[in-house]
Amino acid sequence: MRVLLLWLAVVVYLVIGYWIAAKQTFTSPAQFGTWVQGSAFAFLLVVFVRRALRSRPRPPPPVSFEHPDLGMVRWDAEEEAWSIQSGPESGTFSIRLMGGQRPDEARLASARELLRNPRPFLAGIRSLLDAAPAEPEDAAEIRGLQVESVSFPWPDRPRDAMVYFKETERRLWRCNLIDGVPRDLGFDD
C-alpha cells in the first residue's frame, strides 16, 4: 500500500509538471515562475507522502529481564543500551550492551565473562593506569581513576569495549578494551 502511494505521488508530480510546462511557452520570466511554483507544489506533495509513509509506529521499548548468570538486565532508554550492574566485589561498575530488542549472545557472553571473574580485568586496568606516562600534575588524577562503566558497542567485535572512568574535576577518562586487554588511556576535556 505504501509503495502504491509513493508511485501515485510520483505520477501526480510528473503529470502536474508536464501539464504546467505544456501550458506555458516560457516567453517571459513570470511564466517560468508559474511553472516553478507548480513544480514546487508537486515536489512538496511527494515530500509529504514520503513523510507519511515513514511515520510508522515505533516498536515498543525493550523489556528488562532477569538473566540466570548476570542478574537483572535493564533497558536504558537514554543510552539506548542494555545495562547490567556489577556487584560490590568488583568495585560496582555498570556494563552497557548496545543492541535492539534483546542483547545479542556474543556480547552477553563477554559481560558474563567480565562479571564472573572481574579480577583480571581490574588488574589490567590498574596496570594500564600505573604504566601511563603522565605529567606530574596528572599522575595523582590517573592513580585515582575508578571504572564507572564498560560499554560493548560493536556487534562485529563482541570482546572489544570502551571503559569509562568516573569523571574527575578536570576530565572524562576512558580506555579501550581490545580482546579483553585494556589499552590506549585517553581523556576528553
What are the pLDDT digits (tens) for 97-119? 987 888 888 999 999 998 888 88
Phi, then psi, of 179 in degrees rounded to 5: 50, 40
**Cβ atoms 95, 150 nearer than 8 A:** yes
What are the pLDDT digits (tens) for 19-64? 666 665 555 555 555 555 556 666 666 677 677 767 667 666 678 8
Cell numbers for 102: 534483546
Q: To which H or E segment does residue 128 belong?
A: helix 118-131
122-144 burial, b at 16+ Cβ within 10 Å, e below that, comes to: bebbeebbeebeeeeeeeebbee
Q: Which residues pair with 181 in a beta bridge?
A: 178
**pTM of the full structure:** 0.66
